Amino acid sequence: MSKVAIVTGATSGIGAAIAKQLVSEDYKVFNFDLRLPETDQFGVTSVACDVSNEAAVQEAYAKVKELAGPAEVLVNNCGLQFMSPIEDFPKEKWDLLIGVLLTGTFLCSKAVFADMKKNGHGRVINISSVHGKLASPFKAAYVAAKHGVLGFAKVMAMEGAEFGITVNTICPGFVDTPLMRTQVKSQMELNNLTEKEVLDQVFLKAQNIKKLTDPSQVADMVSFLVSNKASTITGEAFNISGGWGMGL
């Protein structure tokens, strides 16, 4: 029987790269996402799921178990962003971001945890952000949620350790995804700058290495952390950020 992995938000970007990598390692991969691809990509089975809704998560996981068995690997990757000064930040946007980024991580982890304990093995990887360790203005909900993910991961790592479960977090900086490229293009047009100027002066200003991270680099880190080579690594948070947040 194939090993079973769930990757949330795997329709595109970082999640798609992670899912593709796990498929190459003979995992049966399921994508939990509200925005589903028209066809299942590179052998990934997509399941419509609002990760902020407990009933939806339980239903989606029941489908995974019916089709392939309990999950050995969970990658919490769903993400979204909204920026606003705190005094103007709409509560519904706060609730949305906290719901997807933090509550979603909790609910998906909760869904698989009992099976991982029963089977004496499990790997949970959270895709947080360098903003899980530091802050930027106008990102109150995002930064709060990403910090929360790191704290939650440490608790889960402690509870899972005696059952052979490891829980780790990856904290990327700016990653070369279609969404990122759209943001770069917008800044180029808005400020009459070249792509290099936008990257160096806007997005990568705080990075020592002035280049976007490729999604495959995040996928490679996931590959290592789910392997037996990382069996004694747990409760850690790894930056992939070109030096941004160095030492944190």
SS3 95: helix
Provide the token pair at 81.
């962003």
Q: Is 142 a catalytic residue?
A: yes
Q: For residue 10, give every residue at least 6 positions away whose Cβ sits within 8 Å of its Cβ, in sequence order, or none.
A: 16, 18, 19, 29, 31, 32, 33, 44, 46, 75, 77
Q: Give the whole-angstrom CA distance, residue 230 versus residue 218.
A: 15
Q: Are strands 122-127 and 165-172 parallel, antiparallel or unpaired?
A: parallel
Q: For residue 66, give every residue at least 6 positions away whose Cβ sits within 8 Å of its Cβ, in sequence order, or none.
A: none
Provide the token pair at 104.
């979603």
Which DSSP symbol is given to 164?
A: T
Query: Which amino acid would we find at residue 51?
Result: V
Maximum CA extent, the chain: 57
Q: Give the whole-angstrom CA distance, residue 246 versus residue 248.
A: 6
Q: Tokens 């009459």: give the residue.
A: 192
Provide the token pair at 31.
């994508």
Which of 27, 142, 174, 244 is catalytic? The answer is 142
Task: State the burial class of residue 234 (Cβ atoms within 10 Å of its Cβ: 0-12, 13-18, 19+).
Answer: buried
Q: Give the whole-angstrom CA distance, residue 107 versus residue 111.
A: 6
* Residues annotated as part of the active site: 142
